[in-house]
Structure 1
């Protein structure tokens, strides 16, 4: 049926490797965005606490 079964196996491995890389990159981006959101929320909370005390510049 197919004269190149090794080629199909290699293509399947390559496809799974690319899928794995895409998942890793997506997770890295999600964690990076979460870190940015947490940092901005922390800065906003600090500003609110300073504002309540009356120490805002």
Structure 2
């Protein structure tokens, strides 16, 4: 019985991998409003007008 050699296996470097292109994201009216008001930036990070509700309780 003839012996066939195994196929060559080569590691793929991350830089050689093909990355999928993400679909565009539609901007919602709520997000656009938050950007216009300054509570969010275009990247989605908190904007200069961002606030966090805070309270302290004494029981």
Place the TM-score, normalised by the shorter chain, in its bin. Answer: under 0.3
Task: Name the structure with the higher helix share.
Answer: 1
TM-score by length of 1: 0.21
Higher relative contact order (CA 8 A, sep 6+): 2
Bigger radius of gyration: 2
TM-score by length of 2: 0.21
